[in-house]
Structure 1
């Protein structure tokens, strides 16, 4: 899923601590060091691991995937064949959340369904950057590239932030859409723009606050959204079951509460990761790194997938917490990295 973290892209907020990036360090821990490890549902984590481990290419990961496919005792499997590895590079841990929006829409325009989702036209592929958001919304050359029409331009804007979602049609059927390209313009934060204008202070800005302000101020709200010239095109996902999550960066469905987006520079996609998130609603759980995001940068940075719909969106939008993430690595790889760090 080509997507950016909602919390990080909508509004520019300072990361606590502000520490400068240092050299990456690797420290092997014990499972006893993972608070809450004994109480977790390891079988749920193993099921999520099995969704993407067949796509991992390195021999050590492929061997572990073959063992996992034999359906061993999940907790014993992780403890026998992995070691917890703390990876740090000077930046404090930060957890945010993301979700899959569900919008109301129609395959034909009319009535309240007036706002189109577009697939990418050929001109946008060869011209970078192409038209701006404001130009695309009124461009006659976009006719014929509509996938569907939705009833809410604000939710459409936020669907573009997430990069994938569901459109529920009047007959109850659902179509799934995923990222299909962009117009090549740099993203500008609408939340940061509201702060710059003095409408809100930094700590007041959230996804829901932005939505409410745009709806209360239709004309100014439309101009605010156009402050961001970046525009995302979609593609219709065929054969993707309704009960599965959206596709992550590994082109496999992500799982609510068990999948995270990470920085693949530090965390191998498909790897198990122990999440110890602080804040008002602590989360201590084994998750699987199955997605990425342009705002997810750093060894201690993760975006937790919360699921589909409004409740998932509210839960994801509230999340911006410190903590610690620990990657579970194959034993030999873990000790090799730790040894290299000491040399």
Structure 2
């Protein structure tokens, strides 16, 4: 054992003397690393009411059951069949409903692996933001008050899967429109909202009263529209125009309109309301545009199952396993009745990876779904928590040692290794 520890020290010394290692390209295969359950064991009890996690897990089990059973789901260097994931999600759901935290931890240690995202710095650092299901005021007919359309997917929007041309373009797509026999970029936000190039195409699902609310509906990806008769129309993501997403918050920080420290969704909304003459210029700085569809139930994530408030999360779908169970270590605010924040509390939350987003790219980004209502809106408006951690829970393969003494030693020294 002494020689083994000496070898570890020598390897570390050589690595230190050789200077910083070149930055590694993060791929689906190296985005997650195996870590011991001891990293989260002390915080497991913080999330004790797991009925909603069980609901979300059962939704993911339904997703895995809907795809070919031999489909492989990748957790970093490891892969598991969809059939295996069905059983894992069902087992975790049963355990979440019937076990208290100590028994659940033992069950997880015995039957599951814990893998951590390498994060933005390859040391596990993750930025967590949050989103919610907003409520807008609208009408099914255009009026002077309700003048801003929510568009359904245009008929001339074309999506091309480039992987059909070459494997090197896996998960790469182009969205555009056919014009005189050529594929061209689809219209950007300015052409759609200001030049009204879609007007007359009978694409309007509804009209709303506030263009700022409509812009943030595009950011959230789904929402509810309160109609004049008191009924509610639910709308959800149908497609995007394929233009790049650009943060208008970053633009206003760059222009010294709002400081980085004070930037939040409420601050951004207030600036747009206070500066109506600059509103369109700033909104159009984000050319990305979302088209919607009517929903029954939902809202739905990228795997087609309803999202669960404070359980579903959105990550980069090119790096992390769709539908997979996970854990999120993040600092969350406690909201007072007047909407102010009393304190921020570090907490561990059981989650499920059921969504993605245009701005959610790389191993160091998570968007946490807060649900619907005033509290969800308040938290989503201020969440931008760095120094968070993202974990995934994978089935322990039959040939993987169970966590006895030597297995625990092995897991400890495998930290940071695929």
Question: TM-score higher than 0.5 here?
Answer: yes
| TM-score, normalised relative to structure 1 | 0.82
1:295 and 2:369 aligned: no
**Larger Rg, first or second structure (1 or 2):** 2
Question: What is the rounded CA distance, in whole Å, between the counterparts of 2:417 and 2:270 in structure 1?
Answer: 52
Secondary structure, counterpart of 1:113 in structure 2: coil
CA distance in 1, matches of 2:399, 2:250: 40
- Is there any run of 5+ residues in structure 1 with no aligned partner, and where? 1-18
- Label 1:182 to 1:28 Cα distance change in 2 as closer, same or farther (>3 A): closer
* C-alpha separation in 1, matches of 2:417 and 2:254: 46
Structure 1 distance, partners of 2:328, 2:225, is 31
Following the alignment from structure 1 to structure 2, what is the Cα–Cα distance between the partners of residues 199 and 341? 41
Contact 1:179 1:234 in 2 (8 A): yes
**What is the alpha-carbon distance in structure 2 between the residues aligned to residue 133 and residue 312 of structure 1?**
27
Pair 1:38–1:210, CA change in 2 (3 A)? closer
CA contact (8 A) 2:309 2:370 kept: yes
RMSD over aligned Cα atoms: 3.0
Q: Report how many aligned residue pairs link the two structures.
A: 320
Question: Structure 2: which 5+ runs fail to align?
Answer: 1-21, 70-80, 159-176, 179-183, 333-343, 402-410
The whole-number CA distance in structure 2 between the counterparts of 1:193 and 1:300 is 21
Match of 2:382 in 1: 318
Alpha-carbon offset, residue 28 of structure 1: 3.5
How far apart are residue 333 of structure 1 and its match? 8.1
Aligned to 2:190: 134
86-95 or 320-329: bigger deviation = 86-95
The structure with more strand, counted as a fraction of residues:
2
Distance 2:331 2:350 in 1: 15
Equivalent residue, structure 2, for 1:8: none
Q: Who is 2:98 aligned against? A: 73
Question: Which of 128, 131, 146 is the aligned partner of 1:113?
Answer: 146
TM-aligned CA deviation for residue 140 of structure 1: 5.7
Q: Equivalent residue for 1:82?
A: 112
Deviations 1:53-104 (A, max 9, x none): 1222423212324545767724556525323233426051221111111101
| Structure 1 contact 124–182 (Cα < 8 Å) conserved | no
Structure 1 residues 335 and 269: CA distance shift in structure 2, 3 A: farther
Aligned with 1:63 (options 87, 90, 95): 87
Q: 1:190 to 1:34 in 2, by over 3 A?
A: same
Report which structure shows greater RCO (CA 8 Å, sep ≥6): 1
Q: 1:164 to 1:43 in 2, by over 3 A?
A: closer
- Equivalent residue, structure 2, for 1:11: none
Residue 154 of structure 1 deviates from its aligned partner by 0.4
Partners of 1:316 and 1:47 in 2: CA distance:
22
Q: Is the 2:54–2:94 Cα contact (8 Å) retained in structure 1?
A: no
Structure 1 residue runs of 4+, over 3 Å off?
19-25, 65-72, 74-78, 264-267, 297-301, 333-336, 338-343
Counterpart CA distance in 2 for 1:310 and 1:67 is: 34
Do the aligned partners of residues 184 and 66 (structure 1) sit closer, same or farther apart at CA in structure 2, a change above 3 Å counting? closer
